[in-house]
Structure 1
């Protein structure tokens, strides 16, 4: 069961991506792609938290759009890792699905503003 609290859910997404990266075989590509995934997955939650500390509606919308962009970027890195690490497809796919769900949730919030 996924948490209803989006701050907690984005935290768990970033944590799960880090745990995934720690299990990947060591290679230059996995190392570089993993670094990018660490940054983008952590940025989803960080920007969502920033949005909740809004200084106005424009700031709120701007931070949510950045969080959504970072979720899309995380999905990109996960797809790339999936294409080169077939032995870990299930775990990568779970994280990829979560990135896509977070993007859709953030889009829905933005569209309601």
Structure 2
């Protein structure tokens, strides 16, 4: 897979989260989780960008670890929101699948640098 394709996937993933929450949630819990999900999804995309510009393999591995941490946080957040009935599974199923695929990709990349 070409790196520009991965860049786009990370950016599209983060943007899709932002789009879902264009309207402010109606409860404190929903608002808290929505804001945190936006932060972690965007952070994964931004850290992946940092990975591509890293100067050493050690720095690349570190950026990938941060990216992976943020992706896992995003997935956990989505699962919590689904279980709490704050978002509907059919609204986020494709985003959740993309999140899981990005996790697998980052894990594979990490094996190369560790």
User: Given that residues 7 and 45 in structure 2 are in contact (C-alpha distance below 8 angstroms), is that contact kept between their aligned partners in structure 1?
Assistant: yes
Alignment of 1:9-20 (within 5 A): 9-20=9-20
Q: Which moved more, 1:40-49 or 1:13-22?
A: 13-22
Alignment of 1:16-55 (within 5 A): 16-22=16-22, 25-55=25-55
Q: Using a 3 Å threshold, how does the CA distance of structure 1 residues 90 and 66 change in structure 2: closer, same or farther?
A: same
Q: Within 2, Cα distance between the matches of 1:5 and 1:60?
A: 18
Deviation at 1:23, TM superposition (A): 5.3
Unaligned runs of 5+ residues in structure 1 are none
Q: Within 1, Cα distance between the matches of 2:6 and 2:85?
A: 29
Counterpart in the other structure of 1:88: 88
User: Given that residues 78 and 95 in structure 1 are in contact (C-alpha distance below 8 angstroms), is that contact kept between their aligned partners in structure 2?
Assistant: no
**TM-score of the pair, normalised by structure 1:** 0.88
Moved over 6 A (4+): none
**TM-score of the pair, normalised by structure 2:** 0.88
Unaligned runs of 5+ residues in structure 2 are none
Counterpart in the other structure of 2:67: 67
Count of residue correspondences: 110
User: Given that residues 82 and 93 in structure 1 are in contact (C-alpha distance below 8 angstroms), is that contact kept between their aligned partners in structure 2?
Assistant: no
Secondary structure, aligned partner of 1:26: coil
Q: Using a 3 Å threshold, how does the CA distance of structure 1 residues 112 and 92 change in structure 2: closer, same or farther?
A: same
